[in-house]
Amino acid sequence: MSRFKAFLFDLDGVICDTAKYHYLAWKRLADMLGIPFDEKANEAFKGVSRMRCMELLLEFGNRTADDEEKVRLADMKNEWYVEYLHDLDRSELLPGALEVLEECRRRGIKTAICSASKNAPLILSRLEITDYFDAVIDGNKVTKAKPDPEVFLLGAKELGVEPAECVIFEDSLAGVQAGISENIFVVGIGKPENLPGADIVVENLSYLDVDSLLKA
């Protein structure tokens, strides 16, 4: 019997690549504001909450705005982002994601989405994978952003398991750090040099060996 009973998945960068749509929407806003912004700058936005991204964008342009203006601009970006999500379909699942979710169902491993995105339910529905998850913890349910472990602890709680019985799948350093702070086993998705502290790192979920993971 494995010590792991549940898998907690980040969404963007682990299950699907919505980062490119975030980028298009932030780029549109940056162009409107006359702030230089490119795909490299967009890296800093991954796994980070919408309002924090808004603040970062203003910092990139050495600009300031009051809270009301920040919310207005972030809302505008979100409307564009949601428009782009209309084209999202199963072809944009990242390699191995569907196979791992199916394996979880076959083996009786519980599953949760633990994402900073307030759009997570919409994205799951567009990808037609809502039914693969026993719980969805998203940006609407948490008050503290990663590296705070709140989103993962809530995931474990909703699934009725202990954090020590979970595995986190995460592509952002902040998410990896959140797992480490609670001694939760972390599978990093991406490059090892970007995810120090993860227990193992794979390029994407197609490289995951669930059998060995369950014996870890």
* Burial track 174-186 (b if 16+ CB lie within 10 A, e otherwise): ebbbbbbeeebbb
| 17 catalytically annotated | no
* Active-site option among 10, 31, 66, 199: 10
> Is residue 111 within the footprint of ligand B16 (CB under 6 A)?
no
- Please give the full DSSP string across 131-193, using - where no structure is assigned: GG-SEEE-TTT-SS-TTSTHHHHHHHHHHT--GGGEEEEESSHHHHHHHHHTT-EEEEES-GG
| 131 catalytically annotated | no
Place of tokens 């009051």: 66
- Choose which of 2, 78, 130, 181 interacts with ligand B16 (CB under 6 A): 78
> Is residue 22 within the footprint of ligand B16 (CB under 6 A)?
yes
Binding mask 121-160 for ligand B16 (x = CB under 6 A): ------------------x---------------------
- Residues 169, 185: Cα–Cα separation, whole Å: 9
3-state SS of the chain: helix, strand, coil percent to 5? 50, 15, 35
The residue whose Cβ lies closest to Mg ion is 13
- Choose which of 5, 46, 110, 126 interacts with ligand B16 (CB under 6 A): 46
Of residues 156-185, those binding Mg ion (CB under 5 A): 171-172
Binding partner of residue 111 among ligand B16, Mg ion, none, CB under 5 to 8 Å per kind? Answer: none
Which CB sits closer to Mg ion, 17 or 33?
A: 17
Active site members: 10, 12
